Chains A and B, each alone.
Chain A
Amino acid sequence: MSGAEILQCLRDRFGPALLETHQDRGDTTAVVERRELLDVLRFCRDEPTLGFDMLMDLTAADYLKYPGREDGPRFEVVYLLYSLPHNHRVRLKTRVDEDDAVVASAVELWPIANWLEREVWDMFGVRFAGHPDLRRLLMYEEFVGHPLRKDYPIDRRQPLIGPPA
């Protein structure tokens, strides 16, 4: 299935929930309304013509300082799906604001989403509703802030963990 057909298939099913699509540099991409996200993901996985059986990656980006996007929704959560039977890919994105940074968890669809969502929470502070165990993945529990946010300075020091002084 070509990228255009994948997008058409999603558009037929979800219509206005697809906010934006592009095939820039050959990567099929769709921006999805947040409340429809889980349905879109489930449809992508279960619809046989799409057959996206693998969640290759789940990540996020902070658009706080991106030219032209300073006012828009701050975070973009990115899902990279791959289909083993059809050998095609799609990138789904959803946008969330800083004061309401919650996305539905995809753990029920793909168990790997568990760790990937923990990493996004750790690095960006985006929460995943319905996640069974939303702990930090890479940083330690006492760490304050979310390091991959654009307003987190790279040279900020935090106290090393240890027994309280």
Chain B
Amino acid sequence: MPEPTTREFMLGEGSGTGSGQTLQVGVGPAHPAMHGIIRITTELDGEFIRKADVEIGYLHRAFEKDCEVGGYNNAIPYTDRLNYVSPLINNFAYASAVEKLLGIEVTERCQYIRTVMAEISRICDHLTCVGASAMELGAFTVFLYMIKAREFLWELVEDVTGARLTISYGRVGGVKADLPEGFAIKVTSAFKQTREVLDEVHRLLTGNRIFMDRMIGVGALTREETIAWGITGPLLRAVGVGYDVRRAQPHWAYDRVQFEVPIQKDGDNYARYLVRMAEMEQSMRIAEQALAMMPGGPINVDFVGRPLDPAAYVDQGKQGKTEGLLLIPIRLSPNLQGQNQPAWEAVNAHDKRVVLPPKETTYGSIEGLMNHFMLIMEGYGIRPPMGEAYFASEGANGELGFYIVSDGSDRPYRVRCRPPCLPPVAALPRMIEGEMIADLVPTFGSVNMIGGELDR
């Protein structure tokens, strides 16, 4: 009788591939590639996955229930935490859904700001996805390069929003503040560096034998399957369907810029990688065009007198010295930069039922104060008429939709987020069954599962 191999010794006789004896292996939630929030139970036959079951919900934090508790704008910080790699898109998509419910239009400049910031976010998201999945295949250099590029972009985001991750920059009816001075120049230089990184990564990965061997033909879905599973975004474009919400149902300023929707036809991990790489270039094109076309703010009024600080402004108002007060620009605290009257008019919908008045008006006139009060106090706030609306936008992972039901009160009756990465994660068993256990990690990486939006 031959000596048993180590494997047979551990698992019993006849435990190789095709022996009929299977092995249960749990991957995650503590596995580093599973982000701590996914558990995949696999049934292995040798090294092949025969059956897999995906368990989610580890990061569930009642997003939809929480939205029902506060006012409409209170949900903005929660949306930051949906897809936390590209939070700006979530902010704007949610705000646009409420605007659709209200039936209001935001200003032209705001549409362009949303477009630019959403595209910068999309690049960040793709950089993270490609970088992380390359790292999981051992290409650590690529990860470092891509995170370096993401750093340049996050600096832009920080410039505009004041934060890097939990930005809370969108508002129903507008955005928090106007773009800072000299933003376009910073974008140019950040994009230049990002393009250099992308070029480097192309040379490191796209023709790399090891990378190609691990990615080509792995985790593939057919066109029919992808559609039946409701998968959108880069995974759908990787099977040759050019569906992109930005093109199919243009919103914000997407109908005024030129861009291509990159497609591939193989539907495997490599095709998804190529789609994401090409999309980053398109996103930069969109952002550059939108910045160049961005309409300026309104014509500035001729101000009289020197800038006042807010406290003095309020004091004067209290003493009844209100004549001409609104014409004097106040010096806003640096935290409120980009929120002064001219900027406010440029980036917010001119609708008193929805948008907080500029701070000068709040501090300097009783109408402004009342307007502010009515929007902030419980039971007042934004009150869309009864009804329902669904707004779809192209998130980094696919169609990001918000379905909101209003009962006419100041709180949303029901907020449903269509998470773009739920369908591909649901289809994950289909992608990995029949393939080797070692291919689970790159396939999972190409899905770009983001726990925040998956579990909500």
- A138 B60 Cβ-Cβ under 8 A: yes
- In the complex, whether A87 has a CB less than 8 A from a CB of chain B is yes
- A59 B403 Cβ-Cβ under 8 A: yes
Q: Which of A7-15, A33-41, A107-115 contacts B (4 or more CB under 8 A)?
A: A107-115
Secondary structure call for the B interface: mixed
A78 to B232, CA, bound (A): 19
B44 CB to closest chain A CB, in angstroms? Answer: 21
Report B-chain residues with C-beta under 8 Å of the C-beta of A65: 407
| A80-B390, A139-B57 as given contacts; A112 in contact with B426, CB under 8 Å | yes
- In the complex, whether B248 has a CB less than 8 A from a CB of chain A is yes
**Contact among A59, A84, A114 for B426, CB-based, below 8 A:** A114
| A27-B388, A57-B403 as given contacts; A66 in contact with B413, CB under 8 Å | yes
| A57-B418, A80-B418, A115-B426 as given contacts; A24 in contact with B456, CB under 8 Å | no
- In the complex, whether B66 has a CB less than 8 A from a CB of chain A is yes
A139 to B230, CA, bound (A): 23
- In the complex, whether B416 has a CB less than 8 A from a CB of chain A is yes
The B-contacting residues of A in range 112-159, CB under 8 angstroms, are 112, 114-116, 123, 136-140, 147-148, 154
- In the complex, whether B56 has a CB less than 8 A from a CB of chain A is yes
The B-contacting residues of A in range 50-66, CB under 8 angstroms, are 53-57, 59, 61-62, 65-66
- A154 B69 Cβ-Cβ under 8 A: yes
- B227 A61 Cβ-Cβ under 8 A: no
A157 CB to closest chain B CB, in angstroms? Answer: 13
A116 CB to closest chain B CB, in angstroms? Answer: 8
- A78 B103 Cβ-Cβ under 8 A: no
Report A-chain residues with C-beta under 8 Å of the C-beta of B62: 147, 154
**Contact among B241, B387, B388, B423 for A84, CB-based, below 8 A:** B241
A123 to B68, CA, bound (A): 14
A26 to B392, CA, bound (A): 13
A138 to B61, CA, bound (A): 10
- A56 B401 Cβ-Cβ under 8 A: yes
- A140 B418 Cβ-Cβ under 8 A: no
The B-contacting residues of A in range 78-104, CB under 8 angstroms, are 78, 80, 84, 87, 89, 91
Look across to chain A and name the residue whose beta carbon is closest to the beta carbon of B64: A148
Report A-chain residues with C-beta under 8 Å of the C-beta of B66: 154
B385 CB to closest chain A CB, in angstroms? Answer: 10
| A25-B100, A25-B103, A110-B228 as given contacts; A137 in contact with B403, CB under 8 Å | no
B177 CB to closest chain A CB, in angstroms? Answer: 29
**Contact among B65, B416, B427 for A59, CB-based, below 8 A:** B416
- In the complex, whether A67 has a CB less than 8 A from a CB of chain B is yes
**Contact among B228, B389, B427 for A25, CB-based, below 8 A:** B389
Please tell me the size bucket of the interface on A.
35 or more
- B408 A67 Cβ-Cβ under 8 A: yes
- B388 A138 Cβ-Cβ under 8 A: no
A78 to B401, CA, bound (A): 14
| A57-B401, A154-B62 as given contacts; A24 in contact with B228, CB under 8 Å | no
- In the complex, whether B229 has a CB less than 8 A from a CB of chain A is yes
**Contact among B65, B227, B389, B456 for A54, CB-based, below 8 A:** B227
The A-contacting residues of B in range 80-123, CB under 8 angstroms, are 100-101, 103
Report A-chain residues with C-beta under 8 Å of the C-beta of B100: 25-26
- B427 A112 Cβ-Cβ under 8 A: yes
- B418 A56 Cβ-Cβ under 8 A: yes
The A-contacting residues of B in range 241-285, CB under 8 angstroms, are 241, 243, 248-249
Interface centre among B69, B387, B426, B430 (most CB of A within 10 A): B426
A26 to B64, CA, bound (A): 24
A111 to B231, CA, bound (A): 11
- In the complex, whether B399 has a CB less than 8 A from a CB of chain A is yes
| A84-B243, A112-B228, A154-B62 as given contacts; A24 in contact with B405, CB under 8 Å | no
A87 to B244, CA, bound (A): 11
Look across to chain A and name the residue whose beta carbon is closest to the beta carbon of B422: A115
Report A-chain residues with C-beta under 8 Å of the C-beta of B69: 154
Report B-chain residues with C-beta under 8 Å of the C-beta of A112: 228-231, 423, 426-427
**Contact among A61, A110, A114, A137 for B413, CB-based, below 8 A:** A61
- A80 B401 Cβ-Cβ under 8 A: yes
A49 CB to closest chain B CB, in angstroms? Answer: 18
Report B-chain residues with C-beta under 8 Å of the C-beta of A84: 227, 241, 243
Look across to chain B and name the residue whose beta carbon is closest to the beta carbon of A55: B230
Closest 5 CB pairs of A and B: A112-B230, A138-B57, A115-B426, A57-B418, A138-B60
Q: Interface residues, chain B, CB within 8 Å of chain A?
A: 56-57, 60, 62, 64-66, 68-69, 100-101, 103, 227-232, 241, 243, 248-249, 386-390, 392, 399, 401, 403, 405, 407-408, 413-414, 416, 418, 422-423, 426-427, 430, 455-456
16 contacts between A and B (CB under 8 A): A53-B228, A56-B399, A57-B416, A61-B405, A61-B414, A61-B416, A80-B390, A80-B401, A84-B227, A91-B390, A114-B426, A137-B56, A137-B57, A139-B60, A154-B65, A154-B66
What 14 new A-B contacts, CB under 8 Å, besides A56-B418, A110-B230?
A: A25-B388, A27-B388, A29-B388, A54-B230, A54-B232, A55-B230, A57-B418, A66-B407, A78-B416, A80-B418, A112-B228, A112-B230, A138-B456, A154-B62
Q: Interface residues, chain A, CB within 8 Å of chain B?
A: 24-27, 29, 53-57, 59, 61-62, 65-67, 78, 80, 84, 87, 89, 91, 110-112, 114-116, 123, 136-140, 147-148, 154
